[in-house]
A and B are shown apart, each in its own frame.
Chain A
Amino acid sequence: MSQTNRISGGQIDRSKSLRFTFDGVTYSGHAGDTLASALLANGVRLMGRSFKYHRPRGPISAGSEEPNALVELRSGARQEPNTRATVVELFDGLVAQSQNRWPSLSFDAMAINDRFNTFFTAGFYYKTFMWPAAFWEKVYEPIIRRAAGLGSLSRLEDPDDYDKGFLHCDLLVIGAGPSGLMAALTAGRAGLRVILADEDFRMGGRLNAETLGVGDQSGADWAAGVVAELASLPNVRMMPRTTVYGAFDHGIYGAVERVSDHLPVPMAGKPRQTAWRIYTKRAILAAGAIERPIPFENNDRPGIMLAGALRAYANRWGVAAGRRVAVFTNNDDGLRTATDLQVKGVDVVAVIDTRSGGPLLAGIRHLQGAEVIDSRGRLGLTEITVRSAKGAVETLRVEALGVSGGWNPNVSLTSHHRSRPIWRDDLAAFVPASDAPAGLIPVGAAMGDLSTHAALRGGAEAAAQVVADLGHGSARYDLPKAEDAPVAITPHWYVKSDKGRAWIDQQNDVTVKDVKLAHQENFTSVEHLKRYTTLGMATDQGKTGNVLGMAVMAELTGKSIPQTGTTIYRPPYTPVSLGALGGRSRGKDFKPFRLTPSHKWASEQGAIFVEVGMWLRTQWLPRKGETEWRQSVDREVLATRKSVGICDVTTLGKIDIQGTDAGAFLDRVYANTFSTLAVGKCRYGLMLREDGMVFDDGTTARMGPSEYVMTTTTANAVTVFRHLEYCRQCLWPDLDVQIISTTEAWAQYSVAGPNARKLLQKIVDQDISDAAFPYMGAGEITVGGLRARLFRISFSGELAYEIAVPTRYGDAMIRALVEAGREFDAVVYGTEALGVMRIEKGHVAGNALNGQSTALNMGLGKMVSRKKDAIGVLMSQRTELVREDGLRLVGVKPVNPAEPLKAGSHFLKTGAAATAEHDDGWLTSMVYSPHLGHHIALGYLKNGTARIGERMRAVNLLAGTDTEIEIVSPHFIDPEGERLRA
């Protein structure tokens, strides 16, 4: 099909033809076209179906405010729903589909909804689908979801990259129309660091869409000249295709740059879109104005559009949306559409002007005091019905109708901090209030200065003020000559009618009738109106409809518009894809990985890794022939207990604590005492929260008189450090304590088992006999002359050490340990075996440290020293927390050794019903103990210590298990600790 509606002029490159398809039909357009302008050029007006009634729809705008022309772009994994055809930059090979229709756009079976529109009025869902409640999830919701909604997802992973970034500037100018260009030029010439962002791919704003001149040039040529100058200034960054979507606190703006959306696929390595966080000293909002329609019966047919859009298609894109057109207006700006189109040779059948009196247009049939009262045309406009001032009704055959109900300053960003715009009667529109976000200065049409001259002046003056405010002296600027016509509007909010439907919000299918219904049911406040009718709740946020809805409500309630309320907007200004917000953080790049020093070796061995926070730790190391994880874990446990095992424990947090008050400091952050710890020894420490619950635990070693090394759990390394800084700075600011994390500076390995000493003695340079290096000893040693640290601590209950070397030697160290351990059949064990052994030994970890447990609950009550003031000690002694019959840590084993246990099971007395009032506690962690040959578990049991030997049940209603258990000591292995001290 040829471009039948292409007319002369416009800022398109006719030498470049671009082929594209829409619903499988191939068309051609030109470089500089949008999808909408190219389709209109090809005579295609029908581009979508409405949300609720599936009414045939075409574009009503030529910009991002578009509610109707939503299409799916591209195919396969790059398919993107709900894209506004009016802002899609045409490229060669573009594939677009209409959406929300079945089986085809011209015949949509769901259009049956339109026939039943009397049922589907506002509040329909609330009224209809409330009862019976059980129907909602199974019946109503699936049906509604299928029937409503917009485009569909491909359900394939998006193959493109998205990125984020940070920009800094003195001045961000939002919008590159006349006021934005003038602002950027004034500030840029004065040397400010300026960012000029515009959502369009061609800067110039309305200047590109009008025939109005600036200086002695056309507006578009002037804009192109300014854009070229700005691009040449090193202190100005030009960002076309960039939507500033949100104004955040203190001069931070969010913006999305569509880096590759205008290309078939992004260039290699380049993102599809970038989400920018822009730090500004000032911002100038030059976002222009958005035209609003005048609702009349059946005002939603393809071909009926905003007058300014009709004119933009003709002037910027060289497209006549129809060969016979009419204009329906209540203001002078609408008249421009008629004159511009007539100059372009389009047949302007009539101008229907709701105002009476005033000068008549020359050479055009200008009907004053008239209204458009209806339209016809199933899939596109064929005729309109006009009622004259005297009441005579006639029908006019037209293919397009431009409607202008006036212009709303684009205040969106000014209300992102909940500033409510204020009403101006002379403009019949809201303008930004003075409490717009600090540093954000609205200018030009966005401020209600709707003439070209006023826009240029507003932009220049605001920029000059910014230049002065930021200490860059006084900026000079020359204002080019431009039209300065006053706004001439007589509000005419909608065409009154008792029967059919007149659309206000075309995207959510909200009509004048719906607003009347809301009024009738007393949902008269703006907030209620919005929620009851869904007015303005679609993806366009009601850019064209909100003010109309309020105006209709104002009339119904007999109040003025400002009395009725205001409408405010929220970020994002236009929809932002989740991909852009996620940036690089997806898939395997969702978060960084932290690798342990033994990672390379473990990978070579085929280790299975587990994510612990950001760390990848060895979970177990399967050997040849092992097919089940339990085989590996059981082997690792048994070999460690029998001879020796090696485990990478680098991930535990390590904090260096120095200073003459380091001991006193530790006494206050730990429930037990550290100032009395001898140099060269370590001690298990218990850290409480101020409310008395256990926060973290670990061993801390005294390396010198004023030097300690604290270890934390892997999970709490960061929060413990934060807490220590809090204590140091906020609570005891004059203690002589300096702290720094050393977690990653040292590669640390646990060597545990009866042969641990023999193995290590082969590695270290010093004597580590029990006499030379006793239980809980700590100190600096050397390994082949290399500085290292040794701690004689155990988590497994075995004779054990932790040896630390500088991390760069960590890989060599694991290899040396394995090599030295060969004669002992040493194993390297992972986190699973670690967990088995700590439960066998009765150490709390993970699930038992649940933030609701005290030291007493854990069987560690005696560690809490009451002789000193430490965080949490006082609160841990509250009456309810020290009840004799409170929860205590116990061991659990199944009465039948063959039966497994389930973590999360609750303890119940034999015979008690499985209900909450019989709950006696719960099982926190369980493992299979290869040493004992059956499952074992730890748990919290009411009055547990006194109940050792009792038989009860462990019930897990989720898993459907009910197991007979015996309560035992939590120390399954070596309760006297003889192995540790061997």
Chain B
Amino acid sequence: MIINHPILGPRDAQEFVYLGDAALIDRPDGLTAGNEAFHDYVYLRDNPAGVHRELWYHEQGDRSWLVVTRNTVTHEITGVELARDVARSRGRSK
């Protein structure tokens, strides 16, 4: 596969390490969220046959974590964003 890196342009997926669902960005607060929320966060994933937002790490590249929007059936990639930007847009900061 080719991932169109937002900074570097098209790069071979071989350079990346896959982590999984980009929902991992939405980590609950460990002091306030409680066990149940964390259980869901750690263990529950959607497994769609279709469009999926997922985290890829450009390990053999510029070390950027990316959020890749990919169709798991066709492998079509319709969006690639820097995970840092996505995290900020979802209210994450310090």
A contacts B directly (C-beta below 8 A): yes
Interface residues of A, Cβ cutoff 8 Å to B? 248-252, 279, 417, 438, 661, 664, 690-691, 718, 722, 725-726, 729-735, 868-870, 873-875, 878
Nearest opposing residue in chain A for B3, CB measure = A250
Contact status A874-B38, CB under 8 Å: yes
Known A661-B94, A722-B57, A870-B30; contact A733-B38, beta-carbon cutoff 8 A: no
What 1/0 flags go to B65-94 for Cβ under 8 Å of A? 100000000111100001110111000111
Docked complex Cα distance between A251 and B41 (Å): 36
Contact status A730-B25, CB under 8 Å: yes
Which residues of the other chain, B, contact A417 by a CB distance below 8 angstroms?
A: 74-75
- Per the CB 8 Å criterion, the residue count for chain B at the interface is 38
Most buried by B among A279, A735, A870, A875: A875
B1 beta carbon closer than 8 Å to chain A: yes
Contact status B59-A722, CB under 8 Å: yes
Contact status A735-B24, CB under 8 Å: no
Contact status A690-B55, CB under 8 Å: no
Contact status B59-A734, CB under 8 Å: no
Main SS at interface, chain B? mixed
Nearest opposing residue in chain A for B86, CB measure = A730
Which residues of the other chain, B, contact A874 by a CB distance below 8 angstroms?
A: 30, 33, 35, 38
Which residues of the other chain, A, contact B35 by a CB distance below 8 angstroms?
A: 874-875, 878
Contact status A691-B42, CB under 8 Å: yes
CB distance from A913 to the nearest CB of B (A): 35
Known A250-B2, A869-B29, A873-B30; contact A726-B75, beta-carbon cutoff 8 A: no
Contact status A726-B31, CB under 8 Å: no
Contact status B42-A690, CB under 8 Å: yes
Which residues of the other chain, A, contact B63 by a CB distance below 8 angstroms?
A: 725
B45 beta carbon closer than 8 Å to chain A: no
Contact status A725-B65, CB under 8 Å: yes
Which residues of the other chain, A, contact B65 by a CB distance below 8 angstroms?
A: 725-726, 729-730
Contact status B38-A726, CB under 8 Å: no
11 additional A-B pairs beyond A691-B43, A730-B83, beta carbons within 8 Å, are A251-B2, A279-B2, A438-B76, A690-B41, A691-B42, A718-B59, A726-B57, A730-B25, A731-B87, A869-B31, A878-B35
Nearest opposing residue in chain A for B27, CB measure = A731
Docked complex Cα distance between A731 and B77 (Å): 24
Contact status B19-A733, CB under 8 Å: no
Contact status B42-A875, CB under 8 Å: yes
Docked complex Cα distance between A198 and B79 (Å): 35
Determine which of B1, B29, B43, B55 lies in contact with A730 in the assembled complex, contact meaning CB atoms within 8 Å: B55
Which residues of the other chain, B, contact A868 by a CB distance below 8 angstroms?
A: 31
Docked complex Cα distance between A252 and B11 (Å): 11
Which residues of the other chain, B, contact A661 by a CB distance below 8 angstroms?
A: 94
Docked complex Cα distance between A734 and B42 (Å): 23
23 A-B pairs with CB atoms under 8 Å apart are: A249-B1, A249-B2, A250-B75, A252-B1, A252-B2, A279-B2, A279-B12, A664-B94, A690-B41, A690-B42, A722-B59, A726-B57, A729-B64, A729-B82, A730-B92, A731-B25, A732-B92, A733-B87, A733-B88, A868-B31, A869-B31, A870-B30, A875-B35
Most buried by B among A733, A870, A875: A733
Nearest opposing residue in chain A for B73, CB measure = A418
Docked complex Cα distance between A734 and B88 (Å): 8
Identify the 7 closest CB pairs spanning chains A and B, nearest first: A869-B30, A250-B2, A734-B93, A249-B1, A733-B84, A729-B65, A729-B84
Which residues of the other chain, A, contact B74 by a CB distance below 8 angstroms?
A: 417
Docked complex Cα distance between A837 and B42 (Å): 37
Docked complex Cα distance between A186 and B94 (Å): 57
Which residues of the other chain, B, contact A725 by a CB distance below 8 angstroms?
A: 57, 63, 65
Docked complex Cα distance between A587 and B25 (Å): 42
Contact status A249-B75, CB under 8 Å: yes
CB distance from B67 to the nearest CB of A (A): 9
Docked complex Cα distance between A868 and B29 (Å): 10
Which residues of the other chain, A, contact B30 by a CB distance below 8 angstroms?
A: 869-870, 873-874
Known A249-B1, A249-B75, A722-B59; contact A729-B87, beta-carbon cutoff 8 A: yes
Nearest opposing residue in chain A for B92, CB measure = A733
Which residues of the other chain, B, contact A734 by a CB distance below 8 angstroms?
A: 88, 92-94
CB distance from A769 to the nearest CB of B (A): 41
Which residues of the other chain, B, contact A718 by a CB distance below 8 angstroms?
A: 59
Docked complex Cα distance between A158 and B64 (Å): 41
Docked complex Cα distance between A734 and B74 (Å): 35
CB distance from B26 to the nearest CB of A (A): 10
Docked complex Cα distance between A236 and B67 (Å): 37
Contact status A733-B2, CB under 8 Å: no
Which residues of the other chain, A, contact B2 by a CB distance below 8 angstroms?
A: 249-252, 279
Which residues of the other chain, B, contact A279 by a CB distance below 8 angstroms?
A: 2, 12
